[in-house]
A and B are shown apart, each in its own frame.
Chain A
Amino acid sequence: MERKVAIIGQAQTKHSEDIGMPRERMLFELVKGLFGQFGITRHDIDTFVLCSNDFQVGRTISNVFEDTPVGAYMKDETKVEADGVWAVTYATTRILSGIYDTALVVANSLGGSEFRPYLIMDYQLNPTYDRQLGFLNELSTAALQARSYMDKYGMTDAQLDMIAARLLRNAAKNPNALQAKADATPGYVAGSDYLYEPLRKLHCYPFTDGACALLLASAEKAKDLTDNPVWIAGMGDSIESYYVGERDLFRSRSTRLAAERAYKMAGISDPMGQIDVAEVSTKFAHQEPIICEALGLFEEGSGGEVADKGLSEIDGEMPVSPSGGGLGAYPFSAAGAICVAECFRQLTGSAGDAQVANAGAAVAHGQDGFCAQHNAVIVLSKEEG
């Protein structure tokens, strides 16, 4: 990339089942808080990139209600539907174009209090076939994916529980997480009810109200505004066939391709050695090994062993989702932006109790669709490169 783009700040809501205020107020306070960190106003933002989904907001062209609270009144504004990671990608390319020097990304949904995520996801099902069957929904397809991985690589239920327990413990170190338990054990997870076997309630993302804002800037502008920028070193994106029957559910080929693109751009040839921390959008515990393996962070099929050895713990060889990831909170649209924001916190040494020692390079992942059909990867670095 000729021009360099940095993330210079992030803000998140305290994610909850019910944020207790209108979306407009939530966004206004979130963005004002972020501007306050830098003593800037909305007039310092060259382009606004929003991320929300019409079905989830329950109003078409959802961003028209979000523009004024985020400060985009009479400004350059655009919107992404899928997930906040794509909004970050879009904002980055807008700055790379040379036309803009600053961009504000704001992603949100009220999946805890305003709509039922599983019902909304049902409408992603193909109406002429999948929806007619009466036994497919987001959760049941995720359960098919879980079974596929577990059977292929011999991962046990107990190991799946270990992944979820680790994420819940990490979430307890994240002040913004919704679903958390400081002393979560595999037995605690195994004590939650089955929803669709092999998935139990505590293997799944909680219905979440929440939002995330990220401030991006060109190199010159970033250095004006902060001494602690985090650089976007690489980006990649890839999508699979819609139909789950046309995919290998035990692996994520699209994530692998997205990662290859991002790593190439970032000059990463050995992700295991060069990446210090990963924040991965896992809606369900079993998706963590599938995605991490596709990101090249662990060997294919090693999910059970990684869990047994604690390799992905905050102080492990390859810390994954120190924030608790999607099990801690999963506000649709914002989830991937939160992964980027959590990588930013890690690389700026501001991750508090979840801080990974000496984190210099991070990878953030976002997903959209059934069984993570669409995947995006962003590599972040403390080095300008």
Chain B
Amino acid sequence: MAFEMGPETRQVQGTWDVTTYRYKIEGKGMKLLCDAMKEKKIRGIRCNECRTVYVPGPTFCRKCHIDIDEVVEVKDTGEVGTFAVLMADMRGNPVDTERVSAQIKLDGADTWLGGTIEGIDWHDVKIGMRVKAVWADNPEGKLSDIDHFEPA
């Protein structure tokens, strides 16, 4: 790689594609959720001590710092915890159609699940609004099996 000589400062082009990683992730709670989604159901893990229901379920409770494994099913209905209206794609380019990105507190869960809301003008979306999951016709056991949420 050749140096570009400036009057005072030299610039050299470099890249920073550091390396590839082989990440290990905790798959248990995600598998539990994805397996449930094949049946159009949503399952998480409850802490026996503080009764917090996590979806997706971790293997330990953040608050009680103990192993947890009690599987619980939560509803596919819930309320909007918070939302944003996406007027650009993930790289910041403007889009023609706005999308509502929301965090949904499902009935029976203590955590929020991310999803989009359709079937309503985004001006009318409100925090606390009741919504229901709209499932893919043929769920395959992946997070996109919940196609979107719509007002319930």
Chain B interface, >50% SS class: loop
A98 located at the interface, meaning its Cβ lies under 8 Å from any Cβ of chain B in the complex = no
Residue contact B62 to A68, C-beta cutoff 8 Å: yes
Residue contact A119 to B18, C-beta cutoff 8 Å: yes
Partner of B24 from the list A74, A110, A123, A131 (CB cut-off 8 Å) is: A110
Q: Which of A22-30, A307-315, A328-336 contacts B (4 or more CB under 8 A)?
A: A22-30
Q: How far does the Cβ of B133 sit from chain A's closest Cβ, in whole Å?
A: 27
Partner of A55 from the list B1, B18, B24, B62 (CB cut-off 8 Å) is: B18
Residue contact A73 to B62, C-beta cutoff 8 Å: yes
* Residues in A115-158 with C-beta less than 8 Å from chain B: 115-116, 119-120, 123, 127-128, 131-132
Q: How far does the Cβ of B57 sit from chain A's closest Cβ, in whole Å?
A: 13
Specify which chain A residues have a CB less than 8 angstroms from the CB of B24 in the assembled complex.
21-23, 110, 113-114
Specify which chain B residues have a CB less than 8 angstroms from the CB of A116 in the assembled complex.
19
Q: State in angstroms the CA–CA spacing of A56 and B18 once bound together.
A: 10
Specify which chain B residues have a CB less than 8 angstroms from the CB of A71 in the assembled complex.
65
Q: State in angstroms the CA–CA spacing of A23 and B25 once bound together.
A: 8
Say which size band chain B's interface belongs to: 10 to 19
- When each residue 14-37 of chain B gets 1 if its CB lies under 8 Å from chain A and 0 otherwise, what string results? 101011011111100000000000
Residue contact B25 to A22, C-beta cutoff 8 Å: yes
Q: State in angstroms the CA–CA spacing of A22 and B25 once bound together.
A: 5
Residue of B nearest to A31 (CB): B65
Q: State in angstroms the CA–CA spacing of A119 and B16 once bound together.
A: 11
Across chains A and B, the number of contacting residue pairs, with CB separation under 8 Å, is 52
Residue of A nearest to B59 (CB): A25
Q: State in angstroms the CA–CA spacing of A120 and B62 once bound together.
A: 31
Given contacts A127-B14, A132-B1, A132-B12, are A32 and B26 in contact (CB under 8 A)? no
A4 located at the interface, meaning its Cβ lies under 8 Å from any Cβ of chain B in the complex = no
Most buried by A among B14, B19, B22: B19
Q: How many residues of A contact B (CB 8 A)?
A: 28
Q: State in angstroms the CA–CA spacing of A115 and B63 once bound together.
A: 31
- When each residue 40-68 of chain A gets 1 if its CB lies under 8 Å from chain B and 0 otherwise, what string results? 01100000000000010010000000001
Q: State in angstroms the CA–CA spacing of A87 and B23 once bound together.
A: 24
Specify which chain B residues have a CB less than 8 angstroms from the CB of A296 in the assembled complex.
none
- When each residue 10-26 of chain A gets 1 if its CB lies under 8 Å from chain B and 0 otherwise, what string results? 00000000000111110
Residues in A lying within 8 Å of B, measured CB to CB: 21-25, 28, 32, 41-42, 55, 58, 68-69, 71, 73-74, 110, 113-116, 119-120, 123, 127-128, 131-132
Interchain residue pairs with CB less than 8 A apart (18): A23-B24, A24-B26, A25-B26, A25-B59, A58-B18, A58-B21, A68-B62, A110-B24, A114-B21, A114-B23, A114-B24, A115-B22, A116-B19, A119-B19, A120-B19, A128-B10, A128-B14, A132-B1
The 3 A-B residue pairs whose C-beta atoms are closest, nearest first, are A58-B21, A119-B19, A127-B14
